[in-house]
Amino acid sequence: MLELTIEQISMGQTAVDKSAALQLLAEKLVADGLVAEGYLDGLRAREAQGSTFLGQGIAIPHGTPETRDLVFTTGVRLLQFPEGVDWGDGQIVYLAIGIAAKSDEHLRLLQLLTRALGETDLGEALRRASSAQALLKLLQGAPQELALDAQMIGLGVSADDFEELVWRGARLLRQAECVDNGFAAVLQQVEALPLGDGLWWLHSEQMVRRPGLAFVTPDKPIRYLGQPLSGLFCLASLGEAHQALLERLCALLIEGRGHELGNATSRRAVLEVLGGELPADWPSARITLANAHGLHARPAKVLAQLAKSFEGEIRVSIVGGHESPVSAKSLSKLLSLGARRGQVLEFVAEPGIASDALPALLAAIEEGLGEDVEPLPALSEAPAPVADVAQVLSAPAPGSVINAIPAAPGIAIGPAHVHVLQVLDYPVRGESSGVERERLQHALTEVRQDIETLIQRSQSKAIREIFITHQEMLDDPELTDDVDNRLKQGESAEAAWMSVIEAAARQQEALQDALLAERAADLRDIGRRVLAQLCGIETPPEPDQPYVLVMDEVGPSDVARLDPARVAGILTARGGAT
pTM metric for this prediction: 0.40
Per CATH, 6-140 and 150-274 having the same topology is answered yes
Average pLDDT score over residue span 47-63: 88
Average pLDDT score over residue span 53-75: 88
pLDDT of res. 78:
93
Average pLDDT score over residue span 280-301: 82
Q: What single DSSP character describes residue 144?
A: P
By CB atoms closer than 10 A (0-12, 13-18, 19+), residue 550 is: middle
Q: Are 187 and 178 in contact (CB under 8 A)?
A: no
Q: Decide which of 1.10.274.10, 3.30.70.100, 3.40.190.10, 1.20.1250.20 is the CATH code for 416-572.
A: 1.10.274.10
Of 546, 552, 549, 551, nearest in space to 566 by CA: 546
- 6-140 carries CATH number 3.40.930.10: yes
pLDDT of res. 129:
87
Whether residue 546 is predicted with pLDDT greater than 70 in this model: the reply is yes
Return the exposure string of 389-416: e unless at least 16 CB atoms fall within 10 Å of the residue's CB, then b: eeeeeeeeeeeeeeeeeeeeeeeeeeee
Q: Are 501 and 479 in contact (CB under 8 A)?
A: yes
Whether residue 131 is predicted with pLDDT greater than 70 in this model: the reply is yes
Domain ranges of the chain: 6-140, 150-274, 284-366, 416-572
Higher-pLDDT residue of 324, 102: 102
CB neighbourhood size of 309 (10 A)? 10
Higher-pLDDT residue of 298, 35: 35
Most confident of 104-108, 166-170, 483-487: 166-170
DSSP state string for 512-534: S-HHHHTTHHHHHHHHHHHHHHH
Q: Which residues pair with 212 in a beta bridge?
A: 147, 236
Average pLDDT score over residue span 180-196: 89
Higher-pLDDT residue of 230, 386: 230
Rounded to the nearest 5°, which phi and psi values hold at 262? -65, -30
pLDDT of res. 517:
58
Whether residue 165 is predicted with pLDDT greater than 90 in this model: the reply is yes
pLDDT of res. 270:
83
Whether residue 113 is predicted with pLDDT greater than 90 in this model: the reply is no
Q: What single DSSP character describes residue 85?
A: E
Higher-pLDDT residue of 336, 16: 16
pLDDT of res. 199:
93
507 pLDDT band, cuts 50/70/90, is low
Return the exposure string of 235-246: e unless at least 16 CB atoms fall within 10 Å of the residue's CB, then b: bbbbbebbeebb
pLDDT of res. 23:
95
Percentage of the chain modeled with pLDDT above 70: 82
Whether residue 38 is predicted with pLDDT greater than 60 in this model: the reply is yes
User: Any residues with CB less than 8 A from the CB of 503 and at least 6 apart, and which?
Assistant: 158, 482
Give the lowest-confidence range in 148-152, 333-337, 367-371, 454-458. Answer: 454-458
- 284-366 carries CATH number 3.30.1340.10: yes
Average pLDDT score over residue span 129-148: 79
Average pLDDT score over residue span 411-436: 77
Q: Which fold has domain 150-274?
A: Mannitol-specific EII; Chain A (3.40.930)
Whether residue 115 is predicted with pLDDT greater than 90 in this model: the reply is no
pLDDT of res. 575:
63
Give the lowest-confidence range in 161-165, 189-193, 268-272. Answer: 268-272
Euclidean distance between CA atoms 440 and 480, whole angstroms: 10
DSSP state string for 341-389: TTPEEEEEE-HHHHHHHHHHHHHHHHTTTTS--PPPPSSPPPPPP----
Query: What are the strands, taking DSSP E only, across 87-221?
Result: 92-100, 153-157, 193-196, 199-204, 212-218
Whether residue 79 is predicted with pLDDT greater than 80 in this model: the reply is yes
pLDDT of res. 389:
42
By CB atoms closer than 10 A (0-12, 13-18, 19+), residue 104 is: exposed
pLDDT of res. 203:
92
Q: Which residues pair with 78 in a beta bridge?
A: 9, 97
pLDDT of res. 378:
59
DSSP state string for 433-466: HHHHHHHHHHHHHHHHHHHHHHHHH---HHHHHH
Rounded to the nearest 5°, which phi and psi values hold at 465? -60, -40
Q: Are 363 and 301 in contact (CB under 8 A)?
A: no
86 pLDDT band, cuts 50/70/90, is very high
Higher-pLDDT residue of 394, 414: 414
Q: What single DSSP character describes residue 67?
A: G
Whether residue 361 is predicted with pLDDT greater than 90 in this model: the reply is yes
Q: In Å, how far are 12, 13, 58 from 85, measured between CA atoms?
A: 12, 10, 10
As a whole number of Å, the end-to-end CA separation of the chain is: 60
384 pLDDT band, cuts 50/70/90, is very low
SS3 191: coil
Average pLDDT taken over every residue of the chain: 80
Q: Are 192 and 200 in contact (CB under 8 A)?
A: yes
CA angle 438, 498, 572 (to 5 degrees): 130
Active site residues: 62, 296
Higher-pLDDT residue of 61, 491: 61
539 pLDDT band, cuts 50/70/90, is low
Whether residue 537 is predicted with pLDDT greater than 90 in this model: the reply is no
Give the lowest-confidence range in 125-139, 311-325, 500-514. Answer: 500-514
CB hemisphere CA count around 32 (13 angstroms): 21
Euclidean distance between CA atoms 185 and 167, whole angstroms: 8
Q: Are 334 and 295 in contact (CB under 8 A)?
A: yes
Q: Are 317 and 337 in contact (CB under 8 A)?
A: yes
Euclidean distance between CA atoms 37 and 322, whole angstroms: 65
pLDDT of res. 555:
63
Q: In Å, how far are 208, 430, 433, 554 from 181, measured between CA atoms?
A: 10, 14, 10, 38
